[in-house]
Amino acid sequence: MEENKGIIEPAAQDAGVVDVEKELKELRLKQKKLERENRRLQIEMDTIKDMNEQIARTQGFMKKENQRQIFYNTQLLKVSPYLVLMVDEKLKTVMASDVLTQMTDVSLDAVRDGMQLDEVLSKVLEESVLNSLLEKCHSVLENRVSDTFMLNNYFGEEERIYKVDINFYSSPVEGASGLCILFTDMTEVIEAKERAERADKAKSNFLANMSHEIRTPMNAINGMSEFILRDSTDEEAKKNAAMIKSAAKSLISIINDILDFSKIESGKMEIINDTYSLSSLVNDVATMIRIRLQEKKVGLVVNLDPDTPSRLYGDEVRIKQVMINILNNSVKFTNEGQITFNIKHEWDGKGDCCLHVSISDTGIGIKKEELGKIFESFTQVDTKRNRSIEGTGLGLAISRRLVTMMGGELKVESVYGEGSTFSFDIYNKVIDAEPVGVLADNYDVKLVHEVDKSFRRPNARILVVDDNDMNLKVAAGLMKPYGIVPDLATSGPESLELVKNKTYDLIFMDHMMPKMDGVETMHRMRDMKGGSEWKIIALTANAISGMAAKYVEEGFNGYLAKPIDPASMELVLKRELTEEKNEEILEFDPEGEVLEFGPDEGDAPEFEQGDSDRGETDGKPGGVKKGNDELIALLEEIGINTGAGLMHAAGDKDFYLEIVRDYVKAFKERSSQLQEYYESGNMSDYSILVHALKSNSNTLGIEDIGAKAKDLEFASKDNDTAFVDHHHGELIDAYRNRTEEIRKVLEE
């Protein structure tokens, strides 16, 4: 075995070769692995290099972008017309727009160096303004809520108005915060706005004056053509006059529409609320429409919900205007069938009452695709078919706006060829919840206030003071149904004598009286023994909204507008003459005059509303009474609003005609008196007399004279002698013509 020691066995020799090969193989594998790793690292190195390059590029870009932003900002600040100031929390300036250097001698470098805000602004703002601005800055810093306000600054010789915006900023980068203050110079803008407002006002004044100037000759054209129509025997001339009259009428209504529309457009249309009687409103509207329907085969049905409260608080004039506009359209666009005028209500027993008004017709209807257009201004639809129908296309635009102003919405539904329904809601306060009751089916009977027959006060002591006989007569007439016979005084001093000897439960005092007016008389009464307790109600024809408060402030216990509305008179009497009080008076009645008291036993002559109507229906030979109706119809024909007149006379036709006769009789004396005041330049007495003429004319429904007298009353009060010179003769002529016309009618 030892001899074999140095000899390598072939098997062992083979094993050594295998190990080396194996090692080599492993080494090669390792090398490959390392090579792969090397390549990967190489790639990563390249990526990192790329990334570095990218970062360098981005940095370069950002630097440029930054520079660009800085450039833009600087440009912005350079060209900005507004003064922009940025300050830190200590109100040290950080930045400003270049305009600062034009406004002050402060350099932008000084601003960047952190100049104090008050020092900078002291060069442009007056001290008090600066102080208030600094206060606001502190408050914004404290509350971190931005603020905007206007500053009026009188600096040096100049007045400038700035809008100032103070904004709080907080920079996330440096953690710094402060204020950015922007001054916008509004001086020119505000001046331009004021100029535009002045121009707008001038335009409105121009429109108002122009309309006045146009309306006056238009009324003359209207009136003169009426004369030709009545007096001429030449048929051709009459035909022409009829055409002139109709053209004048439509021109007047166009002028009115344009005026209303421009008022709405300029925001000058106002809703003026006051107490009104729903039944008299509906009656006025229905009467007007009936007159228009006379030449057509179309009926008018009025359904006024009898439970609707009788007196409401709203803008009667505008409600009427909307109703008439819509009803007039129905008349225009309906040739046969019926127009239905419905007024319903919804009321919770307190507060507001909602009136639902709807007007339906069986007219030509409106195409579905045109329904949306009809409310646009100056728009008429279906013009081919409606070519011959007059209109401006403004009526519905005005109506819709008015309804919106009164809290409602004007709507329409229509079937072309079948008819249309217009409807709207209006919210009014309830003044008297007493139901309106059933409206007379027969609309030939004028609707008047239904006197409450259960209310009688024959013992009441009432004094009416008015310088105008007719007004006294009307007031007394309105008290008759309640058994009241008032004492009458025609001047302040006369009334002062009366109250010395008799205690009155109620005194009605006219405001406008010559020498001692109603206000002065009232004050003198108040100074008398016990006078502070007296109930004194002002009577005034200057009934505009807000007036009631003025009279009460002055010392009156209330006021009644003239022409006196019978329902309002009844309301005042009921309010002031309570039963207990009446009995008290009976007890203390020194002369023991009228002692009976009660609804059925009045001493005063029994007054029944609508006596003359009953006379007719009874079929009795009441010639005079029948004559009354004819006379009233004739007065209506010559353009007198007998509906209004009768309403003011509480429906008593005899009484109405009697005061119309008085009006005619008074012409001579009153016109010569007016002429005398005019010639002697006595404007104060002129204005009182012309005021009385206005009020008498309106009471009787002679509205054209009422309107002319009103213009002259205002002009004479303002001492506008040019206007009075221009229109005095015109009023006298119109007054003469009117009384002549009425005289003719009454003599017939």
Binding-site ranges for ligand ADP (CB under 6 A):
329-330, 333, 361, 363-364, 366, 374, 380-382, 386, 391-397, 420
Question: 580, 501, 492, 579: which is closest to 536 by C-alpha?
Answer: 492
Locus of tokens 């016990």: 530
At its nearest, how many Å lie between ligand ADP and the CB of residue 643?
24
Q: Is the peptide bond before 563 cis (omega within 30 degrees of 0)?
A: yes
**Position 481: which residue type?**
P
Locus of tokens 């639809």: 381
Residues in the chain: 748
| Residue closer to ligand ADP, measured from CB, 410 or 674 | 410
| Residue closer to ligand ADP, measured from CB, 329 or 468 | 329
At its nearest, how many Å lie between ligand ADP and the CB of residue 363?
5
At its nearest, how many Å lie between ligand ADP and the CB of residue 258?
11
> What residues have CB less than 8 Å from 27, skipping those under 6 apart?
none
| Residue closer to ligand ADP, measured from CB, 274 or 361 | 361
| Residue closer to ligand ADP, measured from CB, 297 or 529 | 297
| Residue closer to ligand ADP, measured from CB, 167 or 386 | 386
At its nearest, how many Å lie between ligand ADP and the CB of residue 381?
4
At its nearest, how many Å lie between ligand ADP and the CB of residue 410?
11
What's the rounded Cα separation, in Å, for the pair 40 and 37?
5
**Position 533: which residue type?**
E
- Which class for 724: exposed (0-12), middle (13-18), buried (19 or more C-beta within 10 A)? buried
DSSP per residue over 224-242, as a string? HHHHHHHH---HHHHHHHH
CB atoms within 10 A of CB 54: 10
| Residue closer to ligand ADP, measured from CB, 330 or 641 | 330
At its nearest, how many Å lie between ligand ADP and the CB of residue 262?
16
Question: 82, 274, 40: which is closest to 186 by C-alpha?
Answer: 82
Q: Which residue is nearest to ligand ADP (CB)?
A: 391
| Residue closer to ligand ADP, measured from CB, 333 or 424 | 333
At its nearest, how many Å lie between ligand ADP and the CB of residue 404?
15
| Residue closer to ligand ADP, measured from CB, 328 or 721 | 328
CB 330 within 8 A of CB 323: no
The residues pairing with 338 across neighbouring beta strands, listed in sequence order, are: 299
The residues pairing with 151 across neighbouring beta strands, listed in sequence order, are: 162
Alpha-helical regions (H) of 484-617: 492-501, 518-527, 547-554, 566-576, 579-588, 611-617
At its nearest, how many Å lie between ligand ADP and the CB of residue 412?
8
CB 645 within 8 A of CB 697: no
| Residue closer to ligand ADP, measured from CB, 399 or 687 | 399
At its nearest, how many Å lie between ligand ADP and the CB of residue 289?
13
CB 152 within 8 A of CB 187: no
